[in-house]
Amino acid sequence: MKNVNLLLKLLLLVIVVILPLVIKAPYQLHIIILIFIWAIIGTSWNLLGGYAGQVSFGHAAFFGVGAYAAGLLQFHLGISPWWGMLLGPIAAVVVSLPIGVIAFRLRGPYFALAMLALGEIFRLLFINLPFTNGAKGILIMPAITTKMFYYYVGLAALLLTVGVTYYIIHSKIGYYLVSIREDQDAATSLGIPTTLYKNYALLPSAFFTGLAGALYMNYVAFIDPNIVFNLTNVSVMVIMVVMLGGVATTWGPTVGAAIYIVLGEVFRTTLGSANVLVFGVLVCLIILFLPNGIVGEIDMLRGVLARKKEGAAGGVKV
C-alpha cells in the first residue's frame, strides 16, 4: 500500500514536471503559474494559521514586502529583480519579527489584529512614501518572457515551501506547534516555551510568503500597493483558499489555490467582477458540509477506512 502511494506521488511529480513540454499554450501555463504562487502563500499561511493556530489577517504585508523588495531593487539600483527572490523573503522575515515578539506574548485575537493592522499600515505607507513610487506602482521590463521558465521557478518554489513545511510539521517543532494550537496551558505545562515556538512558525511563514511576493513581481512585472497589500484580495483570500482546500493538511492549500484560480478564470468571462462571488458561495458550502476542507475530509475518510480494516482504533494524523 505504501509503495503504491509512493509510486502515485512520483507519477504525479513526473506529470507536473513534463507538463509544460506538452501544454505549450501560454494561457494555460499562466494559470498554472498563478496557482503555484497562490499555493505558496496558502502553504505558508497554513503553517502558522492551520498548524500553530495563530490566525493572520495580514499576510499581504509579507507578500507585498517581498514583491517590493524585488521591484525596488530594479527601480532604484537597476539590480536584477531576481535578487529579490533572496532579499524579498528576508525582508518579510525582518518585518514579521517585531510583531511576533510583541503580539505572541498575548493570547486571543491580538496577533490576528496586529497582522490586520500591519497589512494596512504597509499599504498606506507604500502609497505615500517617496521612494516607493506611490500608487503609480512599479513596472519592470522582464528579461525573460517565456512562460515555461516561470513555470519551473514557480514549481521549484512551491516544492521547496511544501517540503520545508512538511519537514517542520513532522518534527518536534510540529508537535509543539499543534500542542500550542490545541491547548496553550497544557503546552506550557509540558515545558514548551509557547512564545518562542509561535515565532518558529511565523518566521518561515513570512519567509515563503515573501518569496511568493518576489516571484509575483518577477512574473507579472507590475505591482502597486493596492494590488500586493490588498486586504480582501490577498490577506482574507488566502484564508478562504486554505479553508477550502483543508486547514492543517499538507496539500490542502495547493488544492484550494487551484480551485480559486480556475474558478476565477472560468467565471470571469461570464460574470465579470462578480466572479469572486462564486468562490465565496463555494467556500460557504464547504464550511457547511465539509468543515475540514476538501483534503481534510479525504484524510478523515481514509482514517475511518483504515480503522475499519484494522478492526481496531486507527489514528487521525495531525
178 scored as a contact of another protein (CB under 8 A): yes
**Contact status: 314 vs another protein (CB under 8 A):** yes
175 binds another protein (CB under 8 A): yes
Q: Measured from the CB of residue 192, what is the shortest distance to another protein in angstroms?
A: 6
Identify which of residues 61 and 201 has a Cβ nearer to another protein in the complex: 201
Among residues 169 and 294, whose Cβ is nearest to another protein? Answer: 169
Give Cα separations from 265 to 86, 221, 276, 280 (angstroms). 31, 20, 10, 15
**C-beta of 60 vs 248, nearer to another protein:** 248
Nearer to another protein, 85 or 248 (CB): 248
User: Whole-number minimum distance, CB 100 to another protein, in Å?
Assistant: 17
Amino acid (1-letter code) at residue 20: P
The smaller minimum CB distance to another protein, of residues 264 and 314, is found at 314
We find the least distance from the C-beta atom of residue 248 to another protein, in angstroms, to be 9
> Interaction with another protein in 181-210: which residues (CB under 8 A)?
182-183, 185-194
Which lies closer to another protein via its Cβ, residue 30 or residue 307? 307
Residues 144-173 within binding reach of another protein (CB under 8 A)? 170-172
By CB under 8 A, name the binding residues for another protein.
170-172, 175-176, 178-179, 182-183, 185-194, 312-316, 318
